[in-house]
A and B are shown apart, each in its own frame.
Chain A
Amino acid sequence: MINVIDRRARRQARSTTTFGDYRRRSAAAGQALTWLCGGALALNLLLVISILLLLAYNGLSYFWQKDLIELDLKDGRKILGEVWSQERSAAVTGARAAAAIDRVRLKIGNRDVNGLDFVWIDAKDIAGRGRPRDAVMLERLEWGNFYGTMAELRKGSQVLATGQDAVWKAFGPLHERKLKERRAIERLEKGAIGDVNYAIEHLRLAEKRLDLENLPTPERDRRKAAIENQVAADQVRYDRLAAELSRMRDRFQAETLVMRTANGEAKEMPVGTVVRAIQPNGMGSLSKLGLYLSRSAEFVSADPRESNTEGGIFPAIFGTVLMVFLMSFAVAPMGVLAALYLREYAKQGPLVRMVRIAVNNLAGVPSIVFGMFGLAFFVYLIGGTIDKLFYPESLPTPTFGTGGILWAALTLALLTVPVVIVAAEEGLAAVPRIVREGSLALGATKFETIRRVVLPAAAPGILTGMILAMARAAGEVAPLMIVGMVKLAPTLPLDGRPPFLHLERKFMHLGFHIFDVGFQSPNVEATTPLVFATALLLIVVVTAMNLVAIMLRNHLRRKYAGSAV
């Protein structure tokens, strides 16, 4: 009897042990899985953070002014520039040490003198290194930076100042005045002269339109004469403005600055073409910070110069944001209406299922294919037809029959519409049946129920889809290259001339700008940091647009929050 009890107790003990073992083992397995999942997440976060840090470091350091270094070479030459990078040979000891090459890469600027911006100098050729306090760096409208010292300030043959210090002192106020003059010239070019050109162009088109219309000859002649008169008047106005412009230009270029390179070569340039003159070696941290901020501000607000290698990228930021905006306006109704039909009206069956699968697969089509479709359908077919019907006078120059911001936005809308449809469908499906019934039970029709109850309740879900769509559209480049994006757009798609929003215009885009600046530029070495800065800016722009949408969504959620509905 005791034996039996004992055995039972032992069995029981064993079974609890087994159970305990099992618990312990499964806990251990669970812990390993937790660590694995956590590790994977940490790895992802690390990647994202390091991308951001890399972009931020490389991009943001570009605007920081380095000191100017003067190298005395053993062959007697002198070189002035910024140290861009240094290369240390790996083998510095032993037999190969003699053959090892340490190199320094300098940005020496003075492209108009040297023909190139960068040089590699072997360390063994360097005799001495200096940091001359009075070395001057000029940022110029053309030919890139100039490094050297100031020699003379001239006006025609008259010398205004000589010697580094005197010239530096006289240069400041004069440069200030020249900058004002340059702005005045730009205002005149873009403002008054642009207006006259625009008017003349319009008159020319009106004249061509007259030829296309079927009018009795005397009537046509009368109208033509009126137009000719107008053109003549505008032409007179144009000539007057052009003369004014040429006078301003002459005055603008009157004063010249003579610079001397480290080797003593002289170079003369109009004062007005200097963007900025600084003496980096004499600057304190605070003034360097000021310079940094001013350059960063220029980068985001100015037009590009020198085939995009210098200046700012404002038109690209503007084009990206405007295009995404237009795309959102196109994709929101398209996606939401399609989702409404699929979810609320269509009879659920094999056909709807197939449509749904097709929509989902559409999201996987390579984007360049959408670009081709946009070119064939929007640009050639629709744009061509619009040109024939509404702009026959400008043919064969196409108006809408060529790539433009509207077609780009519509192409991207097609590309992102599956995302919106899927998200909107999920948002609609999440509205409880009982809420719809509540509305119907009050005598609302199905349409009223959808409009007043279902859509507002589904709005946060729909906005989530819009956020995803916008993020995708802002980063898409390939299809845009064939439907309206250009390297350099002469005008913004939004300006002060009616109809203000010019949907047919081509535009610049940050994504393409990165590619263009980094790999298609004549001065790739100089622009590599710009690639990082532009990429960082693209991320900032996309994040900013998403944040706005997310805030809107959270606002809607808060508005409708507070219960388990």
Chain B
Amino acid sequence: MTETLAEAVRDPALAPRIEHPILNIDGLSLWYGEKKALNHISMQIPEKQITAFIGPSGCGKSTLLRCINRLNDLIDNVRVEGDIRFEDGSIYDPKLDINALRKRIGMVFQKSNPFPKSIYENVAYGCRIQGINKKRDLDEIVERSLRGAALWDEVKDRLDESALGMSGGQQQRLCIARAIAVEPEVILLDEPCSALDPIATARIEELMQDLKSQYTQVIVTHNMQQASRVSDLTAFLYLGELVEYGPTQKIFINPLKKQTEDYITGRFG
């Protein structure tokens, strides 16, 4: 353990007791050009639990999430310092195959983004990329993934139709099915319900609970009720800093920092 992480862990507001960390974020800073978006963030994310990142707009929670599968690499002029270790390997290791990493860390986006293909092909996409092309294998994976995303019964009769003809909630669940089809270890959810109505939101939240036994989930959300409903741990970020991180109950009922309390009680944000 490096000094920074050790130091961070000593701060009770930032160091919940975590039995099996799967991701170790270690002194991570990130700049968009000249602008610093993340400032020296250190935290551990537990395996097979749901961790929520909350905070006002522009606080860096999405940026932090996108660091975990290195999607920020695609943006010009991004500079990163610090490290993230995923099961004891650095994800910033220059020898690392980014595509292999992204297969292990799936992602669901703020807006549903099905590909302009059939429902079947959307779910099978990741497998085809990995070279799984046998019809029988794919059929099985598609069915399992759609069942996993609680979508199978709704779409089993129209797998060959365009995914773009589905409702918003269905599309988002399709994106989850697509993510779990490649059997990742971690699923990153970037405000997955921000464009959905309450019923669709409830279904996604239910689904997250179902998936908890198999996958580590990290969710970014604007919606504090959602964070309190679904997550086991909550991290509050503000202006690129990790302000407080701990068990969700504790953060919402008895936060240690004034800033956290102000945000949660709605005094700013």
Query: Considering the chains assembled together, what is the distance between the CA atoms of A565 and B166 in angstroms?
Result: 12
Residues of chain B in range 161-215 having any CB-CB distance to chain A below 8 Å: 162, 164-166, 171, 175, 178-179, 182
B233 within 8 A of A: no
A89-127 interface mask toward B, CB cutoff 8 Å, 1 = contact, 0 = none?
A: 000000000000000000000000000000000000000
What residue of chain B has the Cβ atom nearest to residue A453's Cβ? B115
Query: Considering the chains assembled together, what is the distance between the CA atoms of A561 and B99 in angstroms?
Result: 29
Query: Considering the chains assembled together, what is the distance between the CA atoms of A561 and B166 in angstroms?
Result: 11
Whether the Cβ atoms of B117 and A565 lie closer than 8 Å is no
With an 8 Å Cβ cutoff, the count of chain A residues facing the other chain is 23
Closest CB of chain B to A450's CB: distance in Å?
Answer: 12
Residues of chain B in range 204-242 having any CB-CB distance to chain A below 8 Å: none
What residue of chain B has the Cβ atom nearest to residue A437's Cβ? B71
Whether the Cβ atoms of A441 and B107 lie closer than 8 Å is yes
Chain B residues whose C-beta falls within 8 Å of the C-beta of A439 in the assembled complex: 115, 125
Whether the Cβ atoms of B71 and A442 lie closer than 8 Å is no
Whether the Cβ atoms of B111 and A434 lie closer than 8 Å is yes
Whether the Cβ atoms of B164 and A440 lie closer than 8 Å is no
Q: Which of A434, A442, A565 contacts B116 (CB 8 A)?
A: A565
Residues of chain B in range 79-126 having any CB-CB distance to chain A below 8 Å: 99-103, 106-107, 109-111, 113-117, 125-126
The DSSP consensus for interface residues of chain A is: helix
What residue of chain A has the Cβ atom nearest to residue B102's Cβ? A443
Chain B residues whose C-beta falls within 8 Å of the C-beta of A456 in the assembled complex: 116-117
Chain B residues whose C-beta falls within 8 Å of the C-beta of A559 in the assembled complex: 116, 162
Tell whether A434 pairs with B109 under 8 Å between CB atoms, given A444-B99, A445-B99.
yes
Whether the Cβ atoms of B102 and A440 lie closer than 8 Å is yes
Whether the Cβ atoms of A438 and B175 lie closer than 8 Å is yes
Tell whether A561 pairs with B164 under 8 Å between CB atoms, given A437-B71, A440-B71, A441-B106.
yes
Chain A residues whose C-beta falls within 8 Å of the C-beta of B254 in the assembled complex: none
Chain B residues whose C-beta falls within 8 Å of the C-beta of A448 in the assembled complex: 129
Tell whether A453 pairs with B116 under 8 Å between CB atoms, given A442-B125, A560-B164.
yes
Whether the Cβ atoms of B106 and A437 lie closer than 8 Å is no
Q: Which of A440, A441, A561, A565 contacts B114 (CB 8 A)?
A: A565
Whether the Cβ atoms of B165 and A563 lie closer than 8 Å is yes
A447-490 interface mask toward B, CB cutoff 8 Å, 1 = contact, 0 = none?
A: 01000110011000000000000000000000000000000000
Whether the Cβ atoms of A443 and B103 lie closer than 8 Å is yes
Chain A residues whose C-beta falls within 8 Å of the C-beta of B100 in the assembled complex: 443
A7-32 interface mask toward B, CB cutoff 8 Å, 1 = contact, 0 = none?
A: 00000000000000000000000000
A432 within 8 A of B: yes
What residue of chain A has the Cβ atom nearest to residue B116's Cβ? A560
Chain A residues whose C-beta falls within 8 Å of the C-beta of B115 in the assembled complex: 435, 438-439, 452-453, 457
Chain A residues whose C-beta falls within 8 Å of the C-beta of B164 in the assembled complex: 560-563, 565
Whether the Cβ atoms of A441 and B165 lie closer than 8 Å is no
B69 within 8 A of A: yes
Q: Which of B117, B129, B165, B171 contacts A442 (CB 8 A)?
A: B129
Closest CB of chain A to B64's CB: distance in Å?
Answer: 16
Whether the Cβ atoms of A435 and B113 lie closer than 8 Å is yes
Whether the Cβ atoms of A443 and B74 lie closer than 8 Å is no
Tell whether A457 pairs with B126 under 8 Å between CB atoms, given A441-B71, A444-B99.
no
What residue of chain B has the Cβ atom nearest to residue A449's Cβ? B129
Whether the Cβ atoms of B113 and A442 lie closer than 8 Å is no
B2 within 8 A of A: no
Whether the Cβ atoms of B130 and A443 lie closer than 8 Å is yes
What residue of chain A has the Cβ atom nearest to residue B171's Cβ? A563
A539-565 interface mask toward B, CB cutoff 8 Å, 1 = contact, 0 = none?
A: 000000000000000000001111101
Closest CB of chain A to B33's CB: distance in Å?
Answer: 15
Query: Considering the chains assembled together, what is the distance between the CA atoms of A70 and B216 in angstroms?
Result: 100
Query: Considering the chains assembled together, what is the distance between the CA atoms of A452 and B166 in angstroms?
Result: 21
Closest CB of chain A to B27's CB: distance in Å?
Answer: 25
Residues of chain A in range 406-443 having any CB-CB distance to chain B below 8 Å: 432, 434-435, 437-443
Whether the Cβ atoms of A561 and B162 lie closer than 8 Å is yes
Query: Considering the chains assembled together, what is the distance between the CA atoms of A431 and B92 in angstroms?
Result: 29
Query: Considering the chains assembled together, what is the distance between the CA atoms of A439 and B71 in angstroms?
Result: 11
Q: Which of A438, A560, A562 contacts B113 (CB 8 A)?
A: A438
Whether the Cβ atoms of B111 and A437 lie closer than 8 Å is no
Whether the Cβ atoms of A442 and B109 lie closer than 8 Å is no
Chain A residues whose C-beta falls within 8 Å of the C-beta of B109 in the assembled complex: 434, 437-438, 441
Chain A residues whose C-beta falls within 8 Å of the C-beta of B106 in the assembled complex: 441-442
Chain A residues whose C-beta falls within 8 Å of the C-beta of B175 in the assembled complex: 438
What residue of chain B has the Cβ atom nearest to residue A347's Cβ? B76
Closest CB of chain B to A338's CB: distance in Å?
Answer: 22
What residue of chain B has the Cβ atom nearest to residue A442's Cβ? B126
Whether the Cβ atoms of B74 and A437 lie closer than 8 Å is yes
Closest CB of chain A to B132's CB: distance in Å?
Answer: 12
Chain A residues whose C-beta falls within 8 Å of the C-beta of B126 in the assembled complex: 442-444
Query: Considering the chains assembled together, what is the distance between the CA atoms of A413 and B166 in angstroms?
Result: 40
Q: Which of A442, A561, A563 contacts B179 (CB 8 A)?
A: A442
Query: Considering the chains assembled together, what is the distance between the CA atoms of A434 and B171 in angstroms?
Result: 14
Whether the Cβ atoms of A434 and B165 lie closer than 8 Å is no
Residues of chain B in range 49-96 having any CB-CB distance to chain A below 8 Å: 69, 71, 74
Query: Considering the chains assembled together, what is the distance between the CA atoms of A440 and B110 in angstroms?
Result: 15
What residue of chain B has the Cβ atom nearest to residue A435's Cβ? B113
Chain B residues whose C-beta falls within 8 Å of the C-beta of A457 in the assembled complex: 115-116
Chain A residues whose C-beta falls within 8 Å of the C-beta of B71 in the assembled complex: 437, 440-441
Q: Which of B113, B125, B178 contacts A434 (CB 8 A)?
A: B113
Indicate the member of B114, B125, B175, B179 with the most A CB atoms within 10 Å: B125
Whether the Cβ atoms of A562 and B103 lie closer than 8 Å is no
Chain A residues whose C-beta falls within 8 Å of the C-beta of B110 in the assembled complex: 434
Whether the Cβ atoms of B69 and A562 lie closer than 8 Å is no
Whether the Cβ atoms of B69 and A441 lie closer than 8 Å is yes
What residue of chain B has the Cβ atom nearest to residue A456's Cβ? B116
Closest CB of chain B to A190's CB: distance in Å?
Answer: 50
Query: Considering the chains assembled together, what is the distance between the CA atoms of A438 and B182 in angstroms?
Result: 13
Closest CB of chain B to A441's CB: distance in Å?
Answer: 4
Whether the Cβ atoms of A440 and B74 lie closer than 8 Å is yes
Residues of chain B in range 126-166 having any CB-CB distance to chain A below 8 Å: 126, 128-130, 162, 164-166
Closest CB of chain B to A196's CB: distance in Å?
Answer: 53
Whether the Cβ atoms of A432 and B113 lie closer than 8 Å is yes
6 A-B pairs with the lowest CB-CB distances in the bound complex, closest first: A443-B103, A560-B116, A562-B165, A563-B164, A441-B107, A562-B164
Residues of B participating in the A interface, judged by any CB pair closer than 8 Å:
69, 71, 74, 99-103, 106-107, 109-111, 113-117, 125-126, 128-130, 162, 164-166, 171, 175, 178-179, 182
9 contacting pairs across A/B (C-beta < 8 A) = A438-B113, A441-B107, A441-B179, A442-B129, A442-B178, A443-B99, A443-B102, A560-B116, A563-B165
Apart from A441-B102, A442-B129: 9 A-B pairs, beta carbons within 8 A: A437-B109, A438-B109, A438-B114, A439-B115, A452-B125, A452-B129, A457-B115, A560-B116, A561-B165
